Amino acid sequence: MLLECTLAGESWPLREPFEISRGVMTEIKVLVVRLRDEQGRSGYGEATGVPYKGETQATMAAQIEAVRGRLQVDLSGADLMSLLPPGGARNALDCALWDLRAKQAGRAAWQMAGLSRVEPVLTAYTIGLGSEADVRRKIRAARHLPLLKLKADGTRHLDMVRFAREEHPEARLVIDANQAWSRELLERILPELQAQGVELIEQPVERGQDAALDGLVSPIPLAADESCVDRGSLSALAGRYQYVNIKLDKSGGLTEGLALAAEAKRMGFGLMVGNMGGTSLAMAPAHLIAQECAYVDLDGPMLMSADRSPAMRYEGAMLEGAEVGLWG
């Protein structure tokens, strides 16, 4: 017998345009999966996909349609990993399956994941690229938030840090290049980034070009984002990065995300969890990964003009666990 699978494409407007090195976004388009069993219990999962790999609502839906006839009632996360590659389609299915299995078992998803408890976590708040006036305005509005993640590109980097230091002097800072830097640029600006107290640098070089970091002794830890997909990515990152950024859209779901976190930790990497944008339905399973992470970037709903109901609760920058009725 098959699980009933329903797909829905949704669009969620952002509060204002959000710019990174790859372009500008005004909305987040997600695919929502519902898996329903024969007793009428439903589990839900949401995915944005991986845009820089060409994933869209349509491509993710097509992947799921191709395996619809194999979604048996006894489907497991391991089964999904054999059916679909890492990416948004598998993420939406896998998170929906976790939600469904939790409801079937009458237990919380975090308990089924083997966690002893879930605690609120401190999330970074992301400041996108833009004009100086806009960037300064956004930083001033975030003065109550202790950890800022600054987007950067090949020309706007030190200025972003300077704006943050002038507008929010006490903020902890992370900077994310989104693959836009070269080894030469990184080495040139590292001393100033260190002097300004930047704690972490995300994905300075293009994914697949990580060998450019060989031999670099950075005073600031480097985190692999686009270069870190799943456990198969880790060997190529060792010695080049000190942290890995786990995103469920990249790993293809919570099942692989948890395994990736455990393996990365075993290999000596520090852990970060991030998001590709999305509603509280996407943040809820990632909150389980966040329990083990030194850096958490689950601010997706904070950047949007609306969210689901019920929603994850943000008390300033502290993100609490999923409410009953949302997920897990």
Return all residues near 44 (Cβ < 8 A) that are at least 6 apart: 32, 33, 34, 35, 95, 96, 99, 281, 327
Contacts (Cβ under 8 Å, ≥6 apart) of 241: 210, 213, 221, 222, 223, 224, 227, 228, 269
Confidence check: pLDDT of 21 > 80: no
State the pLDDT at residue 81.
96
Please write the tens of the pLDDT for every residue from 52-88: 999 999 999 999 999 999 999 999 999 999 999 999 9
Q: With bands split at pLDDT 50, 70 and 90, how would you rate the model's confidence at 23?
A: confident
Indicate if the pLDDT at residue 138 is higher than 80. Answer: yes
Per-residue pLDDT band at 144 (split at 50, 70, 90): very high
pLDDT at residue number 323: 83
Averaged pLDDT of the chain = 97
More confident residue, 51 or 19: 51
Residue 233: closest CA among 213, 257, 201: 257
Is residue 124 a contact partner of residue 296, using CB atoms and an 8 Å limit?
A: yes
- Comparing CA positions, the residue from 324, 148, 32 lying closest to residue 313 is 324
Reply yes or no on whether the pLDDT at 22 is more than 90: no
Query: Sign (positive/negative) of CA torsion 110, 116, 119, 122?
Result: negative
Position 148 scores a pLDDT of: 98
Question: Residue 142 — very low, low, confident or very high, per pLDDT cuts 50/70/90?
Answer: very high
**What band does 18 get if pLDDT is binned at 50, 70 and 90?**
confident
Q: Indicate if 250 belongs to the active site.
A: no
User: What average pLDDT does range 137-142 have in this prediction?
Assistant: 97
Structure confidence at residue 24 (pLDDT): 87
Cα torsion at 65, 69, 75, 80 (round to 10°)? -40
pLDDT tens-digit readout, 260-276: 999 999 999 999 999 99
Which residue in 29, 103, 138, 247 is the catalytic one? 247
* pTM, full prediction: 0.96
Return d(Cα 292, Cα 270) in angstroms, integer: 9
The band of 294, judged by pLDDT with boundaries at 50, 70 and 90, is: very high
Domains of the chain: 4-107 (3.30.390.10), 121-319 (3.20.20.120)
Residue 152: band (very low, low, confident or very high) from pLDDT cuts 50, 70, 90: very high
Catalytic hit among 138, 149, 151, 250? 151
Residue-wise pLDDT tens digits, 104-137: 999 999 999 999 999 999 999 999 999 999 999 9
Q: Is 265 a catalytic residue?
A: no
Mean pLDDT (whole number) for 174-197: 97
pLDDT at res. 308: 97
Digit-coded pLDDT (tens) for 239-263? 999 999 999 999 999 999 999 999 9
